[in-house]
Amino acid sequence: MIVIAGPCVIEDRNTQLEVGKTIRELQDKFPEHTFIFKSSFDKANRSSIHSYRGPGLEKGLELLLEVKEKFSLPITTDIHESWQAEPVGEVVDVVQVPAFLCRQTDLLVAAAKTGKTVNVKKGQFMAPWDMGNVVEKLKVSGVKEVWLTERGTTFGYNNLVVDFRSLPIMKRFGVKVFYDATHSVQRPGGLGKSSGGDREFIPYLSRAAVSVGVDGLFFEVHPEPERALSDGPNMLKLEDFRILIGKLFELEKKVRELWSE
């Protein structure tokens, strides 16, 4: 399996390195799986204009590159505007397109032209079968490889619901499919000027995704989620992540053995 993990947003160098060190240790412990470090240099869709967004492109890429080189980890980050694709593509191994922007043609084309794998979060407003058009836009634009990530669907106000049928449906496009275990428990705008979340359900939903069958998992993790500058309520504590990922790998092995019989 492929595991994408890291803080929601780049807060400071120490947090980046602490999380990067943990992910490197997990990579060494589970060499049969692949870990990718993730963090955002800018959170362009925060609820409030006063919320922390990140250090920006230049400083953010500098800190991401340090994690990549210090811990020998592949890295990913998200882009929000087409012009960001080229400089980001020079540093990261996987370019991520955020859920709210998953249909933006110019952004998808720019991401594809980086020559890197492109991971697209399925929009909260999108049916899984409609992601076929997203895949086509990327393939026509010469993308190296496409990944799609399920992160829940809007259900009423300030709530997301995961339809696990979306995982096998999106697999039909011939791409790798991931499950975002932390954003799926988010409550968008649930705290008024920021998003809330229910991290207690992360283990349950991630187990369900592994049982359904996914190529990878996505987690936002933090040493102290309660003090995080973005998405704290739905992020997983770093130490809890260590324990959970081991159990999920055991489950994945048993599921694979069962269904291969």
d(CA 119, CA 64): 17
Percentage, residues of the chain above pLDDT 70:
98
Sorted by where each begins, the domain ranges of the chain are 2-259
As a three-state string, the secondary structure of the chain is CEEEEECCECCCHHHHHHHHHHHHHHHHHCCCCEEEEECECCCCCCCCCCCCCCCCHHHHHHHHHHHHHHHCCCEEEECCCHHHHHHHHCCCCEEEECHHHCCCHHHHHHHHCCCCEEEEECCCCCCHHHHHHHHHHHHHCCCCCEEEEECCEECCCCCEECCCCHHHHHHCCCCEEEEECCHHHEECCCCCCCCEECHHHHHHHHHHHHHHCCCEEEEEEECCHHHCCCCHHHCEEHHHHHHHHHHHHHHHHHHHHHHCC
Task: Please give the CATH architecture assigned to the domain spanning 2-259.
Answer: Alpha-Beta Barrel (3.20)
45 band by pLDDT with thresholds 50, 70 and 90: confident
Neighbours of 249 (CB within 10 A): 19
Residue 191, pLDDT score: 73
Mean pLDDT across the stretch 164-176?
97
Mean pLDDT across the stretch 144-170?
95
pTM of the predicted model, to two decimals? 0.95
131 band by pLDDT with thresholds 50, 70 and 90: very high
Residue 12, pLDDT score: 96
pLDDT at 214 over 80: yes
Residue 190, pLDDT score: 62
At 197, give phi and psi (nearest 5°).
180, 165
